[in-house]
Copies of this chain bind each other. A is one copy, B any other.
């Protein structure tokens, strides 16, 4: 039942389409190609196979959409990825900048049962080490509408909710600033002409390059 129903490639495409679907512009073939590091032609080829398998819907020259089945596969994969990341950090002492790469490989070979056991062993976490919500085994996900840090109003306080997880350099930098999910900050504003953002975290003032501030997401402080 948990047999390898889909190839690693198919799973990767479905996950890419799932993740791009919830960004502005949706999942375009060239977006998928860029995300997976393959040519646009390869995406066209794979999309045909996915459509034939009933995992994706596609009208030529339109955005790609997952079917219910395709979405379910993608959500399982996302769950496996995020649980594995959380487990590596909590149970095996990994740092948060090194788990993504390992999880990218393990997510395709770990059974759902293993992932469920990992989740149980660390107390059924609801978010991964970068703050991303973990889908339930049943395939339900919270999809919180966080704001980018750069969208805060001057003087506003907020809590760091989630950061992008794919860039290890970024994660090490954010970690060194203590800018991790759960941290409380106050936004002090942006320098003129698209300069750095300034925030207060604990008793320290920190400056963030504009490109970083769009990759860190915050929630209301309650």
Provide the A92-125 mask, 1 if CB < 8 A to any CB of B, else 0. Answer: 1110000000100110111100100110010000
Residue from the list B102, B108, B111, B118 in contact with A114, Cβ < 8 A: B102
**This protein's copies in its complex:** 2
Residue from the list B4, B88, B111 in contact with A102, Cβ < 8 A: B111
> Distance (Å) between the CB of A107 and the closest chain B CB?
9
Cβ-closest chain B residue relative to A117:
B92
Inter-chain CA distance A4–B114, complex, in Å, is: 22
Add 12 more A-B contacts to A92-B114, A93-B117 (CB < 8 A). A4-B105, A88-B114, A92-B117, A92-B118, A94-B117, A102-B110, A105-B109, A105-B110, A106-B106, A106-B109, A106-B110, A109-B109
The dominant DSSP class at the A interface is: helix
Q: Is A24 an interface residue (CB 8 A)?
A: no
Assign chain A's interface to a size class: 10 to 19
Cβ-closest chain B residue relative to A93:
B117
Q: Is A91 an interface residue (CB 8 A)?
A: yes
Closest 9 CB pairs of A and B: A105-B109, A92-B117, A109-B109, A106-B109, A102-B114, A102-B111, A92-B121, A93-B117, A106-B110
> Distance (Å) between the CB of A112 and the closest chain B CB?
11
Chain B residues whose C-beta falls within 8 Å of the C-beta of A105 in the assembled complex: 4, 109-111
Given contacts A92-B118, A121-B91, contact A109 B108 (CB under 8 A): yes
> Distance (Å) between the CB of A179 and the closest chain B CB?
26
> Distance (Å) between the CB of A137 and the closest chain B CB?
16
Chain A to chain B contacts (Cβ below 8 Å), 21 pairs? A4-B105, A88-B114, A91-B91, A91-B121, A92-B114, A92-B117, A92-B118, A92-B121, A93-B117, A94-B117, A102-B110, A102-B111, A102-B114, A105-B109, A105-B110, A105-B111, A106-B106, A106-B109, A106-B110, A108-B109, A109-B109
